[in-house]
Amino acid sequence: MIRMRRKKLWASCFCFAAAFFFVVTLQVITELGNSENKVAVISSLHSGPLKPVEIHAFQFKKQEFPSSFKTESDVNQYPILLWWSPLTGETGRLGQCGEDVCFFTINKTYQHNQMTRAFLFYGTDFSIDSLPLPRRDYHDWALFHEESPKNNYKLFHEPTITLFNHTATFSRHSHLPLTTQYLEGVEVLKSLRYMIPLQMKNNLRKRLAPLVYVQSDCNPPSDRDSYVRELMCHIEVDSYGECLHNRDLPQHLRNPTAMDDGNFYKILAQYKFILAFENAICEDYITEKLWRPLKLGVVPVYFGSPSIVDWLPSNKSAILVSSFSHPRELARYIKMLDTNDQEYESYLRWKLKGDISNPRLLTVMKERKWGVQDITQENYIDTFECMVCNRVWENIRRKEKVHVTLSLCLREALKWHWAQIGPRKFGYQISGQPTTTGIAMPLQHASSRQKVLAEGVGTWPEHVSLVLQQCLSSYTLTTELVVISAEGGLTCSGRRFLSGYRE
C-alpha cells in the first residue's frame, strides 16, 4: 500500500548534487578553518565505537551535501538505518534530513556493520521469529505502524512496544504521531461540497432512516456490530455494508474501492447521522470513519478513541456513544434531534460557519510535515526515516555533551559537599511531574546511564544529590537524554464492551 517511488527523487538528487558540487566544495574548504577548534574539543572528549561517524559528521555536518552515488567509503561515514521490513525497496541511499545525513537501506548484509545505528520495522511485518539479534546497545529499534491492534496485536503489549526507541503510530505520544493520517487537511472539513440542506434531509426522511451504517468488516475487536444490532431495536438504521445488511447500494458502488467514490458520498450525505464506529478502541486511533461524516456535513455518532473530543473540529460536532448508558438512550436522543431542527443544526454550526475552534487540531494540521494523498508533500514514510535519522544524531551529540556535563556537575556537587553547607530543600520532585529544577523525569523513563547515576546519587548525602541534580538540569540535557521508548506506547482497551447494557 505504501511502496515508494523514488526514481524521480534519485534523478533530481543527482542533478542537484552535480549543480552544487563545486559551490559546496568551496564552502567546505573555507568553513573547515572555522570549525577546526570545535572539532578538536569534541574529538578529545570522545571515546567509544562511534568515533569515525561522529567526528566526521561534526566536521562536515553543515556543509556536506549527500552525493547521489554511494560508495563503500561514503556509507562508512554515516549512521546506517536498516529497514528490517523491506518497505521502501531501497537498496541504499544517503538521505539528507535537515542538517543530518544517514544511509537508508533494506540490504540486510548491513546488519553487522559497525555503523548500523537503527533498525526500522513496519508493524504489520513485525515478527518475533525474525529479529536482528543479537541487539547491541547502540542498536536503536524504530517502529512504523499506522494500523490498529487488529492488525498486529503483539505490538500493543508492553513487552513488545518498549523494544522500540523511536515510534510512528497513531498515538499522539509517539515520536511521529500519525493521529491525523486519514485527514487530508482542515479545508476538506470546512468544505460544503457534499452538504445537503436540512430541509432536503427532512424530505428524504420519508424514504431513508435517520441513521446510516456501512461496514463490511464484521466482528472486529471493538464488537461494534453487537451495539448496532441492539440500537436497531430502538431506532431505524439503514445498513448498506455486509454487516447487518438491510439496504442495497446501486450495483456500481458494490465494491470496496467505491468507498471513496463521489456517488457513494452523495448517498451518505443524504442522511442526518452516520454511525462511525472504529474497529478497535484505542486512544487516538481515528480513521476516515470519523472524518468522512464531518466532511459530508452529516453528524457522526462516534465510537472509538475515548479522548476523541481532543480532535473534533468543535465541541459540538459529533455525538459520542460513550455518553449514553444504553443504545436505547442513544436512540432516544437521536429521535429528539431528528424532530428538532434547531438542536440538530447546532451540531453543524461549526461547518456552516467554517469555524474550526479546536486549537490542537489546527496546530497539528499546520505543523504536520507529511501529506495525505498529496504528491506535493512528503509522505509519512520519508518523514519517519528522517525523524529516526535526526533522533539518532541527537543522541550521538547528546552523548558528547553528557561527558562534559557529568564531569562538570560531579565536580560541582563534590565541591559543594566539602564546603559543609547544611542541606537545603529545592522545590522539585524526583519522580513526579517535571518542574523547573531538579531531574524532572520519572525514573522508568530514564536511560540506563541516568538510572545508574540516579541510583548512585540516592545513596549520597541528600544535599550532594540535590546539587548534582540541579546542576544537571541547568544544562537542560536531562529531560530527554536518551530516547524514552515507553512514551511511544499505545493504550488500547482490548475489552469488548458488550457486557453491561443488556438487561
Q: Which residues bind ligand NAG (CB under 6 A)?
A: 91, 107, 109, 140, 162-163, 165, 314-315, 357-358, 395, 447-448, 482-483, 485
What cell does 229 get?
444490532
State the Cα angle at 429 between 423 and 430, rounded to 5°: 85
Q: How far is the CB of 422 from ligand NAG (least distance, A)?
A: 37
- Where is 302: in which H helix or E strand? strand 299-303
Which residues are within 8 A (CB) of 278 and not within 5 positions of it... i.e. 6 or more apart? 148, 222, 224, 285, 286, 287, 289, 290, 303, 304, 305
What cell does 32 get?
573547515
Cβ atoms within 10 Å of 182's Cβ, excluding its own: 17
Q: How far is the CB of 270 from ligand NAG (least distance, A)?
A: 27
Q: How far is the CB of 300 from ligand NAG (least distance, A)?
A: 15
Q: How far is the CB of 311 from ligand NAG (least distance, A)?
A: 9
Do 281 and 222 meet the contact criterion of CB atoms below 8 Å apart? yes
Place of cell 548534582: 468
Q: How far is the CB of 502 from ligand NAG (least distance, A)?
A: 33
Nearer to ligand NAG, 438 or 488 (CB): 488
Nearer to ligand NAG, 35 or 162 (CB): 162
Nearer to ligand NAG, 220 or 306 (CB): 306
Q: How far is the CB of 417 from ligand NAG (least distance, A)?
A: 30
Helices 51-60 and 380-418 cross at an angle (nearest 10°) of: 100
Amino acid at residue number 450? Q
Q: How far is the CB of 166 from ligand NAG (least distance, A)?
A: 9
Q: How far is the CB of 448 from ligand NAG (least distance, A)?
A: 5
Nearer to ligand NAG, 209 or 294 (CB): 294
- Determine whether 283 is exposed, middle or buried from the number of CB atoms within 10 Å of its CB (0-12, 13-18, 19+): buried
Q: How far is the CB of 351 from ligand NAG (least distance, A)?
A: 14
Q: How far is the CB of 360 from ligand NAG (least distance, A)?
A: 8
- Determine whether 401 is exposed, middle or buried from the number of CB atoms within 10 Å of its CB (0-12, 13-18, 19+): middle
CA distances from 358 to 290, 312, 316, 349, 494 (A): 15, 7, 11, 14, 29
The 8-class DSSP code of residue 134 comes to S
Do 183 and 253 meet the contact criterion of CB atoms below 8 Å apart? no
Cross-sheet strand order for the sheet of 116-122: 93-97, 100-105, 80-83, 116-122, 140-144, 166-168
User: What is the C-alpha to C-alpha distance for residues 171 and 454, in angstroms, rounded to an integer?
Assistant: 29
Q: How large is the C-alpha radius of gyration of the chain?
A: 28
- Where is 114: in which H helix or E strand? none
Q: How far is the CB of 398 from ligand NAG (least distance, A)?
A: 10
Nearer to ligand NAG, 309 or 430 (CB): 309
Which residues are within 8 A (CB) of 127 and not within 5 positions of it... i.e. 6 or more apart? none
CA distances from 4 to 7, 96, 183 (A): 9, 17, 20
Nearer to ligand NAG, 174 or 314 (CB): 314
Do 130 and 155 meet the contact criterion of CB atoms below 8 Å apart? no
Nearer to ligand NAG, 111 or 151 (CB): 111
Write out the DSSP string of 184-237.
--HHHHH--TT---HHHHHHHTTTS-SEEE---S-S-TT-HHHHHHHHTTTS-E
Which residues are within 8 A (CB) of 428 and not within 5 positions of it... i.e. 6 or more apart? 435, 436, 437, 438, 439, 440, 469, 470
Q: How far is the CB of 447 from ligand NAG (least distance, A)?
A: 5
Nearer to ligand NAG, 199 or 448 (CB): 448
Nearer to ligand NAG, 111 or 202 (CB): 111
- Determine whether 430 is exposed, middle or buried from the number of CB atoms within 10 Å of its CB (0-12, 13-18, 19+): middle
Nearer to ligand NAG, 87 or 196 (CB): 87
Nearer to ligand NAG, 289 or 391 (CB): 391
Nearer to ligand NAG, 358 or 470 (CB): 358
Q: How far is the CB of 144 from ligand NAG (least distance, A)?
A: 16
Nearer to ligand NAG, 448 or 499 (CB): 448
